[in-house]
């Protein structure tokens, strides 16, 4: 009996949807790219509940005929390619004809489209790959896609979606990627009725500033290189504006956003020795290559691509970045031009160089009233006698053989040192390399990681204050203004109450700007911008972990950033206080992330080291 059968189209489309449409942001990406391919000059994206309830993309592009409107939902139906060789000459965003078929298989789709030359447009309603209706309609020129209840017939996939804040962050990221590479097209984004973006047409620099804020106007440096292999253009960020988080780092190849760790390494190497540790530069680099030398069909999302000669491109990109940094005097560079002050006139015919004469007075005596006297040995001897008189006040007779009595200040200083040594010995706390605290136990030697210990202390203190609703906020005499990317600003707004509960008094100022009026009492770091950037970055990393409570995740992230860093020298009293606070915690042996705070080396283990 034959057991292999062809799958129905609806099932095949659902399987394909698992590769192409992973979350609402994936559908947004495909619909926006289709709108770009249609030649639209204005595109509007409307989402509700972070795309779970509604995704709508409206454009003023070329539109579709009645037949094309129905055929576009068929699997592998495309207007971009006709044969396999066309895959190596692709200049459009979409080409495989999988996106709309996949979206229609897992959502309720409504399409309205009309060409300029047609009097009436076409309206199609599809649910789960099944066409419910198709009829003529009155609509503007262009196309409008409405996707409702994504994954309505795949509940398992819907349950795997993250929180609304996280999913909206992914949507904003996809929106920015498409908007950045198409500055000549106007874009708008609305979420739950709120206008998140309104981007006017312009050049690339204007588009970057419109997306990431006006403060980027002073941060960008132009990059431009043209070779036989590749053309490199765009902007890079100045080193002094590097961030604590990996944020605005974009590569585009032939008008398409790509992820390429190898090229990213080339940029990092160009910034080598210019950036502080754990900081990352911003860059918006556009690569234009021959389509025959690039393969963009190796991944369903088309963000991972393969270049023909990556090693050469690596060197070109690195060189282009270094050249731009040097051109704008951002890196030390050698100037081989002749310094004007060193440009001596040429000698005339027969003229010789006259060597300058240097006259010195070997008998010059600064103690002579007439410093110009010369030639007399008596004068020299007299000078020597006067030099010796300089040391006479320092000569003291000590015929008793006893050590001279020290001053009162010296006695006090030496006494303070002795007391400190006695106190240190009696408390038995020692610091090693500014990282560890060593103390003696009856069973052996305890070694405490001071950073991990402080992280546990801060976390439990934060959680206790949150539960008691008694957070102590230190009001700032001069409030600080901090700026974030749109996705991070959206995340910060959604966590505003949780952040306030941890001790920050933050007020939304609009366009990604926030005013910090107060900070936690335990905060010692003056760089509030950098601290909040790292807190948000760690919060986003912890999203994928099992902890679902956003308040706990935020407390974990904040404690990690506020904890004392390696290299911090502690006094005896500070070490004693840290140890006492650690063992007053409910879980003193580990950080909230599960790292050990201390370890004990038994005396038996120490003895084995010396056998």
Domain ranges of the chain: 9-202, 205-327, 444-599
Report which of 110, 112, 99, 114 is spatially closest to residue 132, judged by C-alpha positions: 110
Q: What pLDDT is stored for residue 423 in this prediction? A: 39
Full DSSP string of 428-450: TEEEETTTEEEEE-SSEEEEEEH
Does residue 475 carry a pLDDT above 70? Answer: yes
What are φ and ψ of residue 199, in 5° steps?
Answer: -105, 115
Confidence of residue 414 (pLDDT cuts 50, 70, 90): very low
For the record, the structure tokens of 154 come out as 């795949």
pLDDT tens, 49-106? 999 999 999 999 999 999 888 888 887 666 655 555 555 556 666 555 678 888 888 8
Rounded to whole angstroms, the maximal C-alpha distance in the chain is: 129
DSSP 8-state class, residue 480 = E
3-state secondary structure 277-343: CCCECCEEEEEECCHHHEECCCCCCCCCCEECCHHHHHHHHHHHHHHHHHHCCCCCCCCCCCCHHHC
115 confidence band (pLDDT: 50, 70, 90): very high
pLDDT above 70 for 374: no
Residue 528 has pLDDT above 70, yes or no: yes
Q: What is the pLDDT of residue 409?
A: 41
Architecture in CATH of 444-599: 2-Layer Sandwich (3.30)
Place of tokens 């402080």: 454
Q: How many residues does the chain have?
A: 611
Q: Is the pLDDT of residue 527 over 80?
A: no
The pLDDT score that the predictor gives to residue 525 is: 64
Q: Is the pLDDT of residue 547 over 60?
A: no
Q: Cα separation of 251 and 113, whole Å?
A: 33
Whether the per-residue pLDDT at 370 is higher than 70: the answer is no
Q: Quick one: which of 182, 189, 241 has its CA closest to 50?
A: 189
Cβ atoms 123, 114 nearer than 8 A: no
Cα–Cα distance measured from residue 77 to residue 95, given in angstroms and rounded to the nearest whole number: 9
Q: Dump pLDDT digits (tens) for 134-175.
A: 999 999 999 999 999 998 888 888 888 888 888 888 899 999
In angstroms, the CA 476 to CA 523 distance is 12
- Residues 6 or more apart whose Cβ sits within 8 Å of residue 422: none
- Cβ contacts of 37 within 8 Å, gap of 6 or more: 61, 80, 92, 93, 94
pLDDT for 599-610, tens place per residue? 888 888 888 888
Backbone angles phi and psi of 369, in degrees to 5: -65, -40
pLDDT above 70 coverage of the chain, percent = 77
Q: Which two tokens stand for residue 346?
A: 């040429």
pLDDT tens digit sequence for 274-294: 887 778 889 999 999 988 888
What's residue 318's pLDDT? 92
Q: CB within 8 A of 126, min separation 6: which ones? A: 73, 104, 108, 109, 110, 111, 132
Per-residue pLDDT band at 200 (split at 50, 70, 90): very high
Measured on CA atoms in the order 253, 256, 261, 264, is the torsion positive or negative?
Answer: positive
Q: The pTM is what? A: 0.67
- The CATH architecture assigned to 9-202 reads 2-Layer Sandwich (3.30)
Cα distance between residue 148 and residue 130, in whole Å: 15
Q: Which residue has the tokens 């504006």?
A: 241
- CB-count burial class (<10 Å; 0-12, 13-18, 19+) for 316: buried
φ, ψ for residue 610, nearest 5 deg = -110, 15
| CB-based contact 313:227 (threshold 8 Å) | no
Contacts of residue 145, defined as CB under 8 A and 6 or more positions apart, other chains included, come to: 31, 34, 55, 56, 57, 58, 109, 110, 111
pLDDT, tens digit, 9 for 90 and up, residues 385-411: 555 554 455 444 444 444 344 444 434
Mean pLDDT throughout 415-429?
A: 46
| 540-573 exposure pattern, b = at least 16 Cβ within 10 A, e = fewer | bebbeeeeeebbbbbbbbbbbbbbbeeeeebebe
Average pLDDT value over all residues in the chain: 79
Which tokens hold the place of 601? 């080396």
467 class by beta-carbon count within 10 Å (0-12 exposed, 13-18 middle, 19+ buried) = exposed
pLDDT digits (tens, 9 = 90+) for 211-248: 888 778 888 899 999 999 899 999 999 888 888 777 78
User: Quick check: do 9-202 and 205-327 share a fold?
Assistant: no
Per-residue pLDDT band at 342 (split at 50, 70, 90) = very low
Among the ranges given (8-12, 458-462, 592-596), the one the predictor scored with the smallest mean pLDDT: 8-12
Domain 205-327 belongs to what architecture? 2-Layer Sandwich (3.30)
């Amino acid at each position: 009996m034959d057991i292999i059968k062809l799958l129905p189209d609806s099932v095949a489309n659902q399987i394909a949807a698992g590769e192409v449409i992973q979350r609402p942001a994936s559908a947004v990406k495909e619909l926006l790219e289709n709108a770009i391919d249609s030649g639209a000059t204005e595109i509007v994206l409307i989402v509700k509940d972070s795309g779970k309830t509604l995704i709508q993309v409206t454009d003023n592009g070329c539109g579709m005929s009645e037949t094309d409107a129905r055929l576009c939902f068929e699997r592998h139906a495309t207007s971009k390619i006709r044969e396999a060789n066309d895959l190596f000459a692709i200049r459009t965003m979409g080409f495989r004809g999988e996106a709309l078929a996949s979206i229609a298989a897992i959502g309720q789709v409504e399409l309205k489209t009309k060409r300029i030359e047609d009097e009436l447009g076409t309206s199609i309603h599809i649910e789960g790959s099944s066409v419910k209706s198709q009829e003529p309609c009155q609509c503007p020129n262009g196309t409008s896609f409405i996707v409702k209840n994504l994954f309505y017939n795949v509940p398992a996939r819907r349950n795997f979606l993250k929180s609304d804040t996280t999913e909206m962050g992914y949507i904003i990221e996809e929106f920015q990627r498409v908007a950045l590479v198409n500055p000549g097209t106007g874009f708008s984004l609305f979420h739950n009725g709120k206008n998140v973006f309104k981007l006017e047409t312009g050049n690339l620099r204007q588009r970057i500033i419109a997306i990431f804020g006006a403060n980027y106007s002073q941060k960008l440096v132009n990059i431009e290189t043209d070779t036989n292999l590749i053309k490199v253009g765009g902007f890079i960020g100045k080193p002094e504006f590097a961030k604590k988080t990996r944020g605005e780092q974009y590569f585009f190849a032939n008008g398409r956003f790509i992820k390429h760790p190898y090229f990213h390494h080339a940029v990092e190497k160009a910034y080598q020795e210019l950036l502080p540790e754990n900081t990352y530069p911003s860059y918006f680099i556009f690569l234009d290559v021959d389509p025959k030398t690039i393969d963009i069909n190796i991944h369903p999302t088309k963000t991972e691509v393969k270049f023909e000669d990556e090693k050469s491109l690596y060197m070109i990109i690195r060189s282009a970045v270094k050249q731009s940094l040097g051109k704008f005097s951002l890196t030390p560079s050698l100037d081989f031009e002749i310094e004007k002050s060193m440009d001596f006139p040429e000698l005339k015919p027969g003229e010789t160089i006259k060597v300058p004469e240097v006259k010195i007075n070997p008998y010059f005596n600064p103690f002579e009233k007439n410093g110009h006297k010369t030639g007399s040995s008596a004068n020299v001897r007299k000078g020597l006698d006067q030099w010796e008189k300089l040391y006479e006040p320092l000569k003291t007779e000590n015929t008793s053989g006893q050590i001279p009595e020290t001053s009162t200040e010296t006695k006090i200083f030496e006494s303070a040192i002795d007391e400190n040594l006695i106190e240190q010995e009696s408390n038995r706390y020692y610091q090693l390399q500014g990282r560890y605290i060593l103390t003696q136990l009856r069973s052996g030697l305890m070694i405490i990681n001071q950073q991990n210990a402080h992280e546990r202390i801060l976390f439990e203190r934060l959680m206790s204050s949150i539960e008691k609703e008694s957070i102590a906020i230190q009001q700032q005499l001069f409030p600080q203004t901090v700026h974030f990317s749109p996705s991070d600003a959206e995340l910060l707004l959604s966590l505003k109450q949780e952040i306030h509960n941890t001790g920050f008094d933050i007020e939304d100022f609009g366009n990604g700007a926030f005013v910090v009026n107060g900070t936690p009492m335990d905060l010692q770091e003056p760089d509030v911008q950098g601290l909040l950037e790292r807190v948000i970055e760690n919060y986003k990393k912890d999203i994928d972990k099992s902890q679902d409570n956003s308040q706990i995740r935020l407390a974990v992230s904040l404690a990690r950033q506020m904890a004392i860093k390696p290299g911090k020298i502690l006094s005896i009293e500070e070490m004693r206080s840290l140890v006492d606070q650690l063992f007053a915690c409910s879980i003193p042996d580990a950080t909230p992330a599960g790292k050990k705070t201390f370890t004990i080396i038994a005396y038996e283990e120490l003895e084995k080291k010396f056998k």
